[in-house]
Structure 1
Amino acid sequence: MKIEQIYTGCIAHAAYYIENNGEAAIFDPLREVQPYIDRAVKDNAKIKYVFLTHFHADFVSGHLDLASKTNAKIIYGPTAKPAYEIISATDGQVFDVGNYKVKVIHTPGHTMESTTYLLIDEKGKEHGIITGDTLFIGDVGRPDLAQHVIAELTQDKLARHLFHSLREKIMPLSDDLIVYPNHGAGSACGKMMSKETTDTLGNQKKTNYALNPKMSENEFVTAVLTGLTAPPAYFPANVLMNIKGYESLDAVMKKAKTPLNPIEFEAAANETRALILDTRTAEEFAKGFIPNSINIGLDGNFAMWVGEMISDIKQEILLVTTLGSEEESMVRLSRIGYDHTIGYLDGGFASWMNKGFETDTIDRITAEELEKSSNFEETPIFDVRKKSEFLSEHLVGATNVPLNEINSHLAEFPKDKKFILHCAGGYRSMIAASILKQRGWDNFVDVIGGFETIKNTNLSKTDYVCPTTLL
């Protein structure tokens, strides 16, 4: 069967493309749809359907733009009632794509409209299942997201729906089916996904904790709900955009692609409430940046941290990027619904410096330099990793302020003495550093390379705490 997984690693997302006899279908497309159109053109095929497994929370789907550009029909499973025209398929309904068949299997649990699509080849053989967020490799979709949009859909209710969907709809299927999930490791839509992005259903029945046939319904609910962290703040906003509709990406990009010279950029920053977002690397940002700008680098978990740290999805944004990364920054913002970029600094940060405008820097030290100044009573150290990372291993005397909680813990950072910041590798601590700079702190240094480099010093033999020591 001709099926392609189109994987986007920065948000751990998988879309799917199938084609047969001049007809094609796309499953769970991203916001930028031209690559899917180009793929169909390559096969001399017409995109007939856009299938959605559910109303996505972690990205804005490209179904509306794709349907508008290709006249494809949008397919959702039962109970979906968006504010635009769709085919709301019934459980068991079959759609033809060339000589292939796509069978609808309603699998509520992650959300109520969640649907799995069974792929059947031209010979009538069942090939695989596109599972959306119902079944991942090594995990299942978290059932706590829908309650942030519809309060009565409690996580307990959805977890019980998911239990029955898996037992009654998925597990009876053939072991040789290939499982094609919507996400891989790194997505916030699950908690322990494998790095593998496909597997056989038979192997998942053997290895996926959620498919253990001996597990009772109550045991399943406990297992699925245990260990869930709060979802990123932008998730409910993305769900609503996918339900209600949104402005076309072409229109969003037209507004965003406004080059501003330094004088125009400074004027726009002063005359609007726009946030200056610098998407360069931590290393580049530390050497020089526009005062009051926030650093969230494209080279890390950009979408997740934009969603965590920029609370208003309608926030106007002015971009500073490395040369050539302007459009990528805009697209990656719009993937998660941040559609209000109003321009970018033409020529990058160098053009700002060349104009002689004010700049700022972040002081940084190496792990070896930290080792020489490790009296944490004299110089406090703040670890901005997740709580679970901190509890696993950390420096004795360090204070844990997770990055996503920094705005509610600003009072913990001293203003009367120097302090030190670090995360795991330097990406998150630079976000924290930029926020602290914006809020008026200037009495700190950032550890280059973070905790991974600290472990290679003598601090790991003296002040380093690991799980056995914690116990």
Structure 2
Amino acid sequence: MKIEQIYTGCLAHAAYYLESNGEAAIFDPLREVQPYIDRAKKDNAKIKYVFETHFHADFVSGHLDLQKKTGAQIVFGPTAKPGYDALVATDGQVFEVGDYKVKVIHTPGHTMESTTYLLIDETGKEHGIVTGDTLFIGDVGRPDLAQHVISELTEEKLAGYLYDSLRNKIMPLSDDLIVYPNHGAGSACGKMMSKETTDTLGHQKKVNYALRADMTKEEFIKELLTGLTTPPGYFPQNVLMNIKGYDSLDTVMDRAKIPLSVDGFEAAANETGALMLDTRDAKDFAKGFVPNSINIGLVGNFAQWVGELIPDVKQEILLITYPGKQEEAITRLSRVGYDNTIGYLEGGFESWKKAGKDFETVDRISVDEFEAAYESEKPLVFDVRRKSEYDSEHVIGAINVPLNELNQHLSQFPKDKPFVLHCAGGYRSMIAASMLKQRGWNDFVDVVEGFDAISKTSVAKSDYVCPTTML
């Protein structure tokens, strides 16, 4: 069977391309759809269907643009109520893609419309299942997202539905089926996903905690809900965009790709209330940045941190990027629904600096300087890593304020005495530094390379860093 996983690491997202005999289907596409169109063109195939496993929370799907550009039919599973033209399938309905068949299996639990698609090859053999967020490798979808859109859908109720879907719809299927999930490790849609992005169903039945054959529904609900962190604030907003519809990415790009001179950028910042978002690396941001701008580096989990830290997807944004990186930044913002970029600083920060405009910096210290200061002064230390990272190992006496909770705990940061910031490697602590600077904190330093460097020192191992089992 010709099926291809198209994986986007920064969102831990997997879309799928299926092709047979000149017809193609896309499952759970990202916002930018041209790569899928190009892939089908390479096979001289027409995209016939866009299959959606559910209304996604962690990204804005590209189904509407694919429909507009290719004429493909959008397909959702039972109970879905999209605000645009789409086919809402019935449980068990079969669709033909060339010589292949795609069978709808309604698997509510992550959301009520969640659907698994069974792939059947040209010989009639069942090949695999595209599971969306129903079944991951090593995990299952969290059941606490839909209640943020429909309050009566409690996490306990949805977890019960998910238990039934897994036991009655998924686990009876053949062990040799290949599981094709929508996400891998790093996604906030689950809590303990594997780094592997496909597996056989039989192996998952053996190793996935949620598929234990002897697990009762009560045990399943308890284990599934234990340890769930608060979902990012942008999730419900993305769900509504996927339900109701959204602007074409072409429209978003056209209104965002507006180069602004230094004076024009400054005027726009003063007149609109737009957030100035600087996407440069932490080391360059620290050396100089436009006052009141926030740093979220355009690497790794950029879009997810934007979603965690900017509460409203409708927030107007002015971009400061490395020259030539503005289009990538706009695209990655749009993937999570931030469609209101209104321009970018032409020439980047260097143009601002050359114009003689005021700028700010962030003081940084090496790990050696941190060691010396810790031994002689015992400074106040703030660790902005996740609680699980902090619980594993941390600087004795450090205060843990996870980056995604920083806005709720600003009162813990003193303004009358100096302190030290660190994360694991310097990315998150620079985001925190920029947020604190914007809010008036100045008397602090950031540790270059963060805890990754601190934990490797001999002093750290023996003296002031310890595992929680010793606390």
TM range (shorter): over 0.9
Cα pair 1:277 1:294 within 8 Å, conserved: yes
Aligned residue number for residue 158 of structure 2: 158
Cα pair 1:296 1:305 within 8 Å, conserved: yes
Aligned residue number for residue 234 of structure 1: 234
How far residue 300 of structure 1 moved from its aligned partner, in angstroms, is: 2.9
SS, match of residue 374 in structure 1 = helix
* C-alpha spacing 1:376/1:14, structure 2 compared with 1 (3 Å): farther
Aligned residue number for residue 283 of structure 2: 283
Within 5 A, what are the aligned runs for 1:32-43? Answer: 32-43=32-43
Cα pair 1:5 1:16 within 8 Å, conserved: yes
Aligned residue number for residue 71 of structure 1: 71
Aligned residue number for residue 81 of structure 2: 81
Deviations 1:257-288 (A, max 9, x none): 00111111111111110000001111111111
Aligned residue number for residue 50 of structure 2: 50
Structure 2 unaligned segments of length 5 or more: list them.
none
Aligned residue number for residue 363 of structure 1: 363
- Letter of the aligned partner of 2:464 in structure 1? D
SS, match of residue 176 in structure 1 = coil
Cα pair 1:382 1:401 within 8 Å, conserved: yes
- Letter of the aligned partner of 1:361 in structure 2? T
Within 5 A, what are the aligned runs for 1:19-168? Answer: 19-168=19-168
Deviations 1:266-320 (A, max 9, x none): 1111111000000111111111111100000111311111011111111100001
Segments of 4+ moved more than 6 angstroms = none
Aligned residue number for residue 409 of structure 2: 409
- Letter of the aligned partner of 1:428 in structure 2? R
Deviations 1:6-52 (A, max 9, x none): 00000000000001111000000000000000111111110000000
Structure 1 unaligned segments of length 5 or more: list them.
none
Aligned residue number for residue 11 of structure 2: 11
1: distance between equivalents of 2:129 and 2:377?
A: 57
Aligned residue number for residue 213 of structure 1: 213
* C-alpha spacing 1:221/1:316, structure 2 compared with 1 (3 Å): same
Aligned residue number for residue 254 of structure 1: 254
2: distance between equivalents of 1:123 and 1:452?
A: 53
1: distance between equivalents of 2:238 and 2:257?
A: 23
- Letter of the aligned partner of 1:336 in structure 2? V
* C-alpha spacing 1:341/1:376, structure 2 compared with 1 (3 Å): farther
1: distance between equivalents of 2:353 and 2:153?
A: 52
Cα pair 1:282 1:427 within 8 Å, conserved: yes
How far residue 207 of structure 1 moved from its aligned partner, in angstroms, is: 0.6
Cα pair 1:376 1:398 within 8 Å, conserved: no
How far residue 379 of structure 1 moved from its aligned partner, in angstroms, is: 2.2
SS, match of residue 299 in structure 2 = coil
1: distance between equivalents of 2:215 and 2:83?
A: 39
How far residue 348 of structure 1 moved from its aligned partner, in angstroms, is: 1.1
Deviations 1:119-151 (A, max 9, x none): 001111111000000000000000010000000
How far residue 467 of structure 1 moved from its aligned partner, in angstroms, is: 2.7
1: distance between equivalents of 2:376 and 2:303?
A: 34
How far residue 378 of structure 1 moved from its aligned partner, in angstroms, is: 5.4
Aligned residue number for residue 462 of structure 2: 461
TM-score by length of 1: 0.99
* Stretch of structure 1 that moved more, 328-337 or 413-422: 413-422
* Stretch of structure 1 that moved more, 267-276 or 367-376: 367-376
- Letter of the aligned partner of 2:423 in structure 1? C
* C-alpha spacing 1:282/1:469, structure 2 compared with 1 (3 Å): same
Aligned residue number for residue 185 of structure 2: 185
Deviations 1:328-354 (A, max 9, x none): 100110100000000011111111111
Within 5 A, what are the aligned runs for 1:341-380? Answer: 341-374=341-374, 379-380=379-380
How far residue 468 of structure 1 moved from its aligned partner, in angstroms, is: 2.6
- Letter of the aligned partner of 1:371 in structure 2? E
How far residue 376 of structure 1 moved from its aligned partner, in angstroms, is: 8.6
Within 5 A, what are the aligned runs for 1:387-466? Answer: 387-457=387-457, 458-466=459-467
- Letter of the aligned partner of 1:131 in structure 2? T
SS, match of residue 48 in structure 2 = strand
2: distance between equivalents of 1:394 and 1:377?
A: 18
* Stretch of structure 1 that moved more, 377-386 or 318-327: 377-386
1: distance between equivalents of 2:299 and 2:47?
A: 33
* Stretch of structure 1 that moved more, 407-416 or 184-193: 407-416
- RMSD of aligned residue pairs (Cα, Å): 1.0
2: distance between equivalents of 1:134 and 1:161?
A: 11
* Stretch of structure 1 that moved more, 387-396 or 60-69: 387-396
SS, match of residue 373 in structure 1 = helix
Cα pair 1:376 1:397 within 8 Å, conserved: no
SS, match of residue 374 in structure 2 = coil
* Stretch of structure 1 that moved more, 107-116 or 260-269: 260-269
SS, match of residue 407 in structure 1 = helix
1: distance between equivalents of 2:15 and 2:115?
A: 15
How far residue 447 of structure 1 moved from its aligned partner, in angstroms, is: 0.2
- Letter of the aligned partner of 2:334 in structure 1? S
- Letter of the aligned partner of 2:13 in structure 1? H
Within 5 A, what are the aligned runs for 1:240-319? Answer: 240-319=240-319
1: distance between equivalents of 2:342 and 2:30?
A: 22
SS, match of residue 469 in structure 2 = helix
1: distance between equivalents of 2:164 and 2:407?
A: 41
Cα pair 1:82 1:243 within 8 Å, conserved: yes
Cα pair 1:379 1:417 within 8 Å, conserved: no
2: distance between equivalents of 1:89 and 1:133?
A: 18
Cα pair 1:60 1:337 within 8 Å, conserved: yes
1: distance between equivalents of 2:112 and 2:100?
A: 27
2: distance between equivalents of 1:468 and 1:57?
A: 36
2: distance between equivalents of 1:265 and 1:98?
A: 52
- Letter of the aligned partner of 2:389 in structure 1? E
User: Between the two proteins, what is the percent identity of the paired residues?
Assistant: 73
TM-score by length of 2: 0.99
* Stretch of structure 1 that moved more, 227-236 or 392-401: 392-401
1: distance between equivalents of 2:68 and 2:461?
A: 57
Cα pair 1:330 1:341 within 8 Å, conserved: yes
Cα pair 1:185 1:192 within 8 Å, conserved: yes
Deviations 1:222-258 (A, max 9, x none): 1111100000000000000000000111001100000
Aligned residue number for residue 386 of structure 1: 386
SS, match of residue 324 in structure 1 = coil
